[in-house]
Structure 1
Amino acid sequence: MHMMLSADEMRCFRQSFQRRLAGASLSALARLPRGGMFRAVLMLLVGAVFGLGFGSPAQAEAGEKVLRVLAWPGYADADVVKAFEQRYQVKVEVTLVDSDEALWALMHGKDAPSFDVLAANTAEIRRYTQANLLAPLDLSRLPNTKKQLPRFQALDSIEGLTSAGKVYAIPFTYSSMGLIYDRKQIPVAPRSMRELWNPQYRGKVLDFNSAQHNFSFTALALGYPHPFQLSATQMRTIAHKLVDLRRNLLTYYTLPEEATAFFIQHKVALMFGNYGTQQVELLRRAGADVGYVIPDEGALAWLDCWSITRSASDRPLALAWINYMLEPGVSALLTQRQGLANTLSAPVDKSDSAHIVWIGPVEDIQRREELWARIVSGDRSEQF
């Protein structure tokens, strides 16, 4: 019978992976099963060792302005940060997150550090707005929004960006969350998320460690019409299904670089691509022969946006960061380096747009996280 990687095997792998990433800020140490606060604190500790912001000083000189940015991997590369610092004569401290749960923990924890700007998907933006954690944006200070594609300028039409007539977020990048597969092991593209459960791939599947997305994509796979608003019965059925998925898993991943290392070193066959096209780009650059597919039942998709926190110490500087992120040269780097779509240029491939399901607020975040913690910790189906 196949077993997931043991704790010792995982520890050795992660230590090796950490050494390979020691020159960068992206550590693969932050693996569940643990709470989002654990991962968030761990990411901050990693930043203290490696220097979050890809080389930006962790502490500014006395009297120097500092912009504290909370973002995802690939959104603030070293040269991008350095150019902003030089233009505005400030220091930028970038803290990276590896999941929505870690992002929430950093933003909402009792002793959470203070951030000025954050990148989050539309469902999370709504959550933060309702929790009074975000400040409304002055669009007159964001002239580069006029360079965005028309659909991203129509902020009222994008759920979660506005509240009571005020704008709280600006679209930045997006991707579907489809299936990534090894073409050598799977010569014919899989057509359903249900292939993740195919016993043929026992020990060769990777899954992203997130309560919200796992329940939602499994709901799609089971044909549930409302993947973000599940009944108690549906939640229980999905929990059983996710317990069953453990039989096929090599392990769970959090960061895209970590998934790439797992995929290549352990000859993974199939993966739920939480970071979508960004992961495909990383894998191909690493020499993997992979394909990417949107399943017939549809794939989740996220739209990440920039927002300013209510605690921002210098809102004009925070607005300058968002406007800078929308400069054509900066936005284009998302596509060139990360394989992600940006909001200024039309995507090349539109063939699967009809099968995209944009993520939305879920029925009970806490309940999903409680069930997920039990799933990844090894609880049996009959315990649900």
Structure 2
Amino acid sequence: MTKLILNRRRFLGTASITGAALASPAYLRRAMAQSGGEVNIWTYNDFVPEAFREQFESETGIKVNVRLVDDQGKQFNLLAAEQPNPTVDIMTVAGHRFLQFIQSDLLAPLDTDRLSNWSNINPTFSESDWSTINGNKWGVPILSGMEVLSYNTEVVSEEEAMTWDTLFSQEYANQTAYIIQDMFSIIMLKMGYDGNMVEYMDDPEKAAAIVEEAKNFLIEKKPLVRKYYDSGAEFQQMMVNQDIVLGHSWNGPAAALINDGFPLGMTIPREGSYGFVYTFNIANNAPNSENAYTFLDALLASPEIGAAMTKASGFISTYKGASEYLTDLERKSTVFPDEQLANLQFFRAEANEMKYSLVDPAVEAVKAA
């Protein structure tokens, strides 16, 4: 998966939200039964809203210690080095990285019965196939990013943007762009296959045939594309310069343009797309597991908290009702209708070794064609 390019501070501007809007006082009174102590969290910048953190500490007596991380691999290595006695209670793991952490016994299975506010999460994020491994839940979905079809709303209609076919149409020849490696998963899904290739782990010949079919499709459509790009900044520049009017992109760079006032829209087309979810996970042998569950339940207590996380981070909230606490512009750049979210699938890692051993050379073949 290509790295998401996103300037979180620029994305939505202000990250502020009042402490009074961040949590239900009734819930926090229940949390007052806690006896204080601390909870240690490794996460990305702005994933714990500061106003929520301050109110949580005030109402529960639990001190929240946040250590910022910027790389999943570094976090894995640090956590592995600390086992069996980690210093962290909660860390942030992307759903498609679960397997690596689980197989190394670094995460504790999540007991959702201890989270009275679990139902506040949109089931698109909490109940999808990626979220259950070996019969257990492993993380609390908090924020999401996804691949979308982005379009200049002054040129392309929303109806046209509801299908990936428009990206490959003669009407917009040489006015489109996409990240070619990421498009392989989309094309396989569009053709009715499992773009994660998990279904074909025991049938490598079928997997190879599917990648070959996707490769041939992209070669056939190559004359229509203006550019295979690599970074979100490239996509943004091509849109602003009107070199393209339609493109596959990650939602982050697209949303940044929307918030800058550019006439851009984005959809999850009816054929489907792929996304990833950031989750809060409890470390195996966490030193403060009770406080960790108290923190997570408080974080899920109200949609205002989800909205605050979106405002601060720029990613899409997993909370039901979070959009009600966003401005019109923020909703336009971070909210999708439920019927579009139903088209979303999530990246899984089980078949990655096989998948990319086939996709990587296919990508080079398309480029060379």
CA distance in 1, matches of 2:188, 2:306: 33
> How many residue pairs end up in the alignment?
307
1:124-139 maps to which residues of 2 (within 5 A)? 124-126=97-99, 128-139=101-112
**Aligned residue runs from structure 1 range 69-148, under 5 A:** 69-71=42-44, 75-76=47-48, 88-97=62-71, 103=72, 105-108=73-76, 116-120=89-93, 122-126=95-99, 128-139=101-112, 141-145=114-118, 148=120
How big is the shift at 1:251?
A: 1.9
Shift of 1:177: 3.5
Q: Among residues 367, 378, 381, which one is paired with 2:354 in the alignment?
A: 367
Q: Check conservation: 1:206, 1:253, Cα contact below 8 A.
A: no
**Mapped contact 1:260–1:283 kept (Cα < 8 A):** no
AA of the residue aligned to 1:253? S
Q: Which residue of structure 2 lines up, in the alignment, with residue 58 of structure 1?
A: none
Within 5 Å, give how 1:248-327 maps onto structure 2.
Answer: 248-249=226-227, 251-253=229-231, 258=233, 261-262=236-237, 265-267=240-242, 268-275=244-251, 280-310=254-284, 312-327=286-301
Aligned residue in 1 for 2:339: 352
Deviations 1:209-246 (A, max 9, x none): 8x5x533211123x133333351111233345557669
Which residue of structure 1 aligns with residue 20 of structure 2?
none
Contact 1:117 1:318 in 2 (8 A): yes
CA-CA distance at 1:175 after TM superposition: 6.2
Match of 1:235 among 211, 217, 230: 211
Query: CA contact under 8 A between 1:332 and 1:342: conserved in structure 2?
Result: no
Q: 183, 194, 203: which is aligned to 2:153?
A: 183
Distance 1:274 1:120, change over 3 A: farther
Q: Does 1:214 align with 2:183?
A: yes
- TM-score computed with the length of structure 1 as normaliser: 0.60
Q: Mark the CA change 1:119 to 1:294 in structure 2 (over 3 Å): closer, same or farther.
A: same
2:327 aligned residue: none
The Cα shift of 1:94 comes to 2.3
Identical aligned residues as a percent:
15
> Residue 299 of structure 1 contacts residue 357 of structure 1 at CA under 8 Å; is this kept in 2?
yes
Give the Cα–Cα distance (whole angstroms) in 2 for the partners of residues 112 and 242 of structure 1: 41
CA contact (8 A) 1:206 1:270 kept: no
Q: Which structure 1 residue ranges, 5 or more long, are not aligned?
A: 1-16, 27-63, 98-102
For the residues of structure 2 that align with 1:331 and 1:160, how far apart are their CA atoms?
A: 21
Output one character per residue of 1:337-369: Cα deviation in whole Å (capped at 9) or x when no partner.
647243332878646348614225366202333
Residue 204 and residue 75 in structure 1: after superposition, are their counterparts in 2 closer, same or farther (change >3 A)?
Answer: farther
Match of 2:330 in 1: none
Contact 2:273 2:343 in 1 (8 A): yes
Counterpart Cα distance in 1 of 2:134 and 2:143: 24
Contact conserved, 1:122 with 1:159, CA < 8 A, in 2?
no
TM-score if structure 2 supplies the norm length?
A: 0.62
CA offset at residue 92 of structure 1? 0.9
Does structure 2 retain, via aligned residues, the 8 Å contact 1:137–1:168?
Answer: yes
Tell me how far apart the structure 1 counterparts of residues 196 and 107 of structure 2 sit (CA, whole Å): 23
Higher-Rg member (1/2): 2
- CA separation of 1:382/1:141 partners in 2, compared to 1, >3 Å: closer, same or farther? closer
Q: Deviations over 1:231-268 (max 9, x none)?
A: 111123334555766953362236xxx47754555444
Contact kept? 1:67, 1:92, Cα under 8 Å: yes
RMSD value, Cα: 4.6
Matched, 1:332 2:307: yes
- Write the mapping of 1:55-74 to structure 2, written as runs, cut at 5 A: 67-71=40-44
Q: Give SS of 1:368's match.
A: helix
Contact 2:108 2:284 in 1 (8 A): yes
The reply on whether 1:380 has 2:365 as its aligned counterpart is yes
Aligned residue for 2:229, secondary structure, equals strand
Structure 2: how far apart are the matches of 1:325 and 1:306?
A: 10
Alignment of 1:20-59 (within 5 A): none
Amino acid at match of 1:292: M
